[in-house]
Amino acid sequence: MQAQTQSRKLQLNSSMARWSQLPKDLLLLVAQRLNTHFDLLCLRSVCSSWHACVPSRPHPLPSRFPILPTNGTSWGLYLSRRTILCLGLPESHCQPTIGSWLIKVEEDVPDMAHLVNPLSTFQFKHLPPNFPKTFDFSRFRVSELGQEYVLQYMNHRPSGEADEGSLHKGKVAFYSTSNGEDFVMLTIHVSGKLAMFRHGNKRLKTIDDMPSCDDLIFFNGEFYAIDNTGRTVVVAIGSPPVLSLIADSVIGGNKKSLVESNGELLMVNTYFDQGIHGIMNRAVRFKVFKLNQIGHMWVEVENLGDRILFLGEKSTFSAVASEFCGCDGNCIYYTNSFFFPNDQEDDAYTGIGIFNLENGNLGPLSSFPNYSKVIWPPPAWVYIDNIGDI
Amino acid sequence: MASSKIITLRSSEGEDFGLDVVAAMELLVIKPMIEELQVIKPMIDNAIPLPNVTSKILAKVIEYCKKHVETPKAEEHAVNDELKAWDADFVKVDQATLFDLILAANYLGIMSLLDLTCQTVADMIKEMSGNEICEIHLLIKERSLEKICKIYNIKTKLTLQSSDGMFFYVDVAVAMESQTIKHMIEDRCADNAIPLPNVTSKILARVIEYCKKHVETPKAEEHAVNDELRAWDADFVKVDQATLFDLILAANYLEIKSLLDLTCQTVADMIRGKTPEEIRKTFLRKHDFTPEEEEEVRRENQWAFE
């Protein structure tokens, strides 16, 4: 009996050992199908031969790189990239009471990162006292949910002009080739028009055919833009760029957002309630649509099922509710510059609300502990030193 | 009645061809129709539609029937020899037409024409180069002629030998899913059993199962068919990691692109979102990093947050 189990163990061991000998070109075929930085990092961390075969970064673009201004003034802009991640425990340690943690990281200098609120630009400056000094990603399951690109001023911010802070407040959609040699950036200009910047350009070029643009997204290899009526186009990059209509306008609603969910492109229509003086826009309800490409129209989606949509200030993304303990799907996290009455200044949850598609209820994130703890504070398992065996 | 009745046959393109009743009886499929017609009020004016036969082929078929009806099956060899020579000329057509004639002869029930055309193909294959053999087998597969070819002993199968000495008898069209084997056929190395020293019988059996399914399923426009095939593929790769590993190597060695894509995608899906430790548990034993490598891996994975 012992001999049998012994030989079976040997068999298992030898068959398992073979994977580390997988020929390099075949391992690369597998690696090609893993396209996020963290998946590739994970592959590299498995064994010696895989570490040697798999390239380290999908693209060498730094987290920040300069973009020139449009009108030749002395100040410059740079683009900073942040990654939205869902961190979880390995399966062996999963329990019904343990949920994943949603974070957004920005890597300033190599090996030094910032934690940013996934929905806003609020940086978590005061990390909890026993937060690990070095955070080991290899202990966790890491899924990349999206990337966020933000235009910021390089050094000196010109003073005096009322509008200059909002010149490039708009969303940015970005694409670069895997070797970083070429890139394209699309943004919403202060005039509401689309503007494009390509590698090698000297200035941003505005695209006139799409005024009052509400949102942009890079989805399925193409740039999509939507205006405040819901009219949606695909922007084909070229000189000049060509816009093709993908969907006609919808009726009603104030602000349109584009978000990817489960491989599909969705549109969220935000309905505002004009405040007392008509200045502060408060979101009162949301409708979700999916694209009917053949009919060129947005079709309403009544139920998101297990999915949750996140409409951040500078990016949108989605996740599966079952990742998070105590959360149901079919809801939307959104940002609203209208402060909820019980918001604290500079709180982790400031300006973030959550909307339930099923019953139409909404409220500040701070009122929903199951949903707020998805973002902050860090869950208990982050602090535990030794998860599992090595 | 002495008057020769004319039967009208209509091709798939809607063209009408007239054929003498007697000649038309060569077409076994028509025979019962004609016999019925003689009982019922003549519906001779109505054409008999043959939706599976084009005008070009129907014309040839009629030519054949007429000739064979006209020529009496005589005792004298001379007459039969003359007919044989005529037949030999009749089948001097391009391959595609020859195969269409086989299909038509089968559909219309003209046994002597079926015999003639199939024998012609069987004889042709003996003389062919490897490339031509590949083309012929693709045509056979395209027109679903495997059963007929079997009856006429047209070689549609070849033998593969696994590393552990087992022989597998497979359809040529199925074997040609592997570019490696296709090249061997083209180089005429496939006349005897093809040895595959890198593939065990267990894996070869699975690979053959995969190729068979993919050859049998037409790549249709309808999503339904493709969805079914995708579901079958998903089931196919539900195997232990050792078999998966062997399938990847076999797909690579035999150059079966769709199987290589499928297996690599499966591994990628198994890896995505897991920790390195979980991946090791599934696929390997322990990591074998040198201390320097371990340090490098640690650095890559550890970030400091400020």
**Residue B40 has what pLDDT?**
45
**Residue B74 has what pLDDT?**
67
Phi, psi of B34 (to 5 degrees): -65, -45
Q: For residue A360, what are the CA distances in angstroms to A186, A187, A321, A337, A365?
A: 33, 32, 18, 20, 15
Mean pLDDT of B102-107: 88
Cα angle for residues A304, A310, A312 (degrees, 5° grid): 155
Six-digit token string for B95: 């391959």
Per the CB < 8 A criterion, the answer to whether B262 and B213 are in contact is no
Contacts for A187 with CB less than 8 Å, ≥ 6 apart: A151, A168, A170, A171, A172, A173, A194, A195, A196, A197, A204, A216
Rounded to an integer, what distance in angstroms lies between the CA atom of residue B118 and that of residue B99?
9
* Pairing, β A222-227 against β A232-236: antiparallel
Q: What is the DSSP letter of A123?
A: B
Q: For residue B91, what are the CA distances in angstroms to A213, B53, B118?
A: 70, 17, 10
Closest CA to A33 of B250, B203, B266: B266
Secondary structure element (H or E) that encloses residue A183, with its range: strand A183-188
Are B298 and A44 in contact (CB < 8 Å)?
Answer: no
Amino acid at residue number B115? D
> Strand pairing partners for B41?
none
Using a pLDDT cut of 70, give the percent of chain B over it. Answer: 88
Closest CA to B205 of B243, B242, B176, B241: B243
Written as one string, the DSSP assignment of B157-189 is EEEEE-TTS-EEEEEHHHHTTSHHHHHHHHTT-
Contact residues, chain B, for A143 at CB < 8 Å: 272-273
Rounded to an integer, what distance in angstroms lies between the CA atom of residue B264 and that of residue B247?
10
* Pairing, β A172-176 against β A297-301: unpaired
Rounded to an integer, what distance in angstroms lies between the CA atom of residue B300 and that of residue A136?
9
Rounded to an integer, what distance in angstroms lies between the CA atom of residue B17 and that of residue A386?
87
Six-digit token string for B274: 């897991």
**Residue A170 has what pLDDT?**
75
> Strand pairing partners for A207?
A194
List of long-range contacts for A353-360, beta carbons under 8 Å, 24+ apart: A353/A283, A355/A283, A355/A285, A355/A286, A355/A331, A356/A330, A356/A331, A357/A286, A357/A288, A357/A302, A357/A303, A357/A304, A357/A330, A357/A331, A357/A332, A358/A303, A358/A330, A360/A285
Per the CB < 8 A criterion, the answer to whether A137 and B303 are in contact is yes
A220 — alpha (psi -120 to 50), left (phi > 0) or beta? Answer: left
**Residue B2 has what pLDDT?**
40
**Residue B260 has what pLDDT?**
96
In the predicted structure, residue B224 carries a pLDDT above the cut 90: no
Contact residues, chain B, for A142 at CB < 8 Å: 273
Residue A303 buriedness (CB in 10 A; 0-12 / 13-18 / 19+): exposed
Residue B261 C-alpha, separation from nearest chain A C-alpha, in angstroms: 8
Rounded to an integer, what distance in angstroms lies between the CA atom of residue A120 and that of residue A313?
5
**Bigger pLDDT: B152 or B236?**
B236
Are B248 and A42 in contact (CB < 8 Å)?
Answer: no
| CB neighbourhood size of A317 (10 A) | 24
Residue B107 buriedness (CB in 10 A; 0-12 / 13-18 / 19+): middle
- The question of ipTM being above 0.95 is answered as no
Contact residues, chain B, for A13 at CB < 8 Å: 285
**Bigger pLDDT: B71 or A250?**
A250
pLDDT confidence tier of residue B259, bands split at 50, 70 and 90: very high
Residue B127 buriedness (CB in 10 A; 0-12 / 13-18 / 19+): exposed
DSSP, collapsed to helix, strand or coil, labels residue A313 as coil
* Helix A37-44 × helix B276-283 angle, to 10°: 50
Residue A389 C-alpha, separation from nearest chain B C-alpha, in angstroms: 8
Residue A131 buriedness (CB in 10 A; 0-12 / 13-18 / 19+): middle
**Residue B57 has what pLDDT?**
93
Rounded to an integer, what distance in angstroms lies between the CA atom of residue B239 and that of residue B230?
16
Are B275 and A139 in contact (CB < 8 Å)?
Answer: yes
> Strand pairing partners for A175?
A184
- Mutation target among B246, B277, B289, B299 for the A interface, most CBs of A within 10 A: B277
Closest CA to A379 of A86, A37, A41: A86
In the predicted structure, residue B165 carries a pLDDT above the cut 70: yes
Per the CB < 8 A criterion, the answer to whether A76 and A66 are in contact is yes
Q: What is the DSSP letter of B247?
A: H
Contacts for A107 with CB less than 8 Å, ≥ 6 apart: A63, A113, B303
Cα angle for residues A348, A350, A353 (degrees, 5° grid): 110
Closest CA to A83 of A312, A338, A241: A312
Least reliable range by pLDDT among A274-283, B23-32, B187-196: A274-283
CB-based contact, A145 to chain B, within 8 Å: no
DSSP, collapsed to helix, strand or coil, labels residue A151 as strand
Phi, psi of A40 (to 5 degrees): -70, -40
**Residue B1 has what pLDDT?**
41
Residue B302 C-alpha, separation from nearest chain A C-alpha, in angstroms: 4
Residues of chain A with pLDDT under 70: 1-17, 57-76, 93-94, 108-111, 153-169, 178-180, 275-280, 338-346, 385-390
**Residue A204 has what pLDDT?**
75
| CB neighbourhood size of B151 (10 A) | 10
Are A47 and B300 in contact (CB < 8 Å)?
Answer: no
B window 126-185, beta carbon within 8 A of A: none
**Residue A357 has what pLDDT?**
94
Are B271 and A43 in contact (CB < 8 Å)?
Answer: yes
Residue that is written with structure tokens 């294959």 in the block: B125
pLDDT confidence tier of residue B14, bands split at 50, 70 and 90: confident
Rounded to an integer, what distance in angstroms lies between the CA atom of residue B9 and that of residue A347?
87
In the predicted structure, residue B42 carries a pLDDT above the cut 70: no
**Residue A273 has what pLDDT?**
82
A window 70-109, beta carbon within 8 A of B: 90-92, 105, 107
Are A143 and B273 in contact (CB < 8 Å)?
Answer: yes
What value does the CA radius of gyration of chain A take, rounded to a whole number of Å? 23
Per the CB < 8 A criterion, the answer to whether A118 and A310 are in contact is yes
Are A18 and B242 in contact (CB < 8 Å)?
Answer: yes
Contact residues, chain B, for A129 at CB < 8 Å: none
Phi, psi of A288 (to 5 degrees): -110, 140
> Strand pairing partners for A85?
A103, A144
pLDDT tens digit sequence for B110-127: 888 988 998 888 888 877
pTM, whole model, 2 decimals?
0.73
> Strand pairing partners for A66?
A78
In the predicted structure, residue B143 carries a pLDDT above the cut 90: no
**Bigger pLDDT: B49 or B43?**
B49
Contact residues, chain B, for A44 at CB < 8 Å: 297, 300
Contact residues, chain B, for A131 at CB < 8 Å: 305
Phi, psi of B180 (to 5 degrees): -60, -50
**Residue B133 has what pLDDT?**
82
Q: Looking at the partner chain, which of B245, B275, B296 has a beta carbon nearest the beta carbon of A19?
A: B245
